[in-house]
C-alpha cells in the first residue's frame, strides 16, 4: 500500500483534533477513490472525442463569455 502525506490548510486545521487519524485516513481514501473514478471516466469520454484543441478553445471562450454576461447583469 502507498502512503501519502497531506497538509491540512489552516482554514480547516481547527477540525483536525476532532477527527481521529483513522477517520482522516478513511476520509482521504474515500475522496481519492471518488476523484480517481471521475478522472478515469473523463479520460474514457475524452478519448472518444474528435474535437480539436481549437474546438475546445472556441467552446471554452463561448462558455466564459456567456457566464460573464449572465453574472454581469446581476
pLDDT tens readout for residues 6-57: 888 888 878 877 888 888 889 889 999 999 999 999 999 989 989 899 999 9
Distance CA 24, CA 28 (A): 6
User: How many structural domains does the chain have?
Assistant: 1
Model pTM score: 0.56
Confirm whether 38 is domain-assigned.
yes
Within a domain: residue 9?
A: no
Is 4 within a domain? no
Domain that includes residue 34, residue range: 17-72
CA 51, 53, 59, 60 torsion-angle sign: positive
Amino acid at each position: 500500500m502507498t502512503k501519502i502525506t497531506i497538509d491540512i490548510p489552516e482554514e480547516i486545521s481547527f477540525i483536525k483534533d476532532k477527527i481521529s487519524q483513522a477517520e482522516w485516513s478513511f476520509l482521504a481514501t474515500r475522496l481519492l477513490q471518488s476523484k480517481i473514478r471521475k478522472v478515469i471516466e473523463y479520460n474514457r469520454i475524452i478519448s472518444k472525442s474528435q474535437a480539436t484543441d481549437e474546438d475546445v478553445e472556441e467552446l471554452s471562450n463561448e462558455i466564459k463569455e456567456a457566464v460573464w454576461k449572465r453574472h454581469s447583469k446581476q
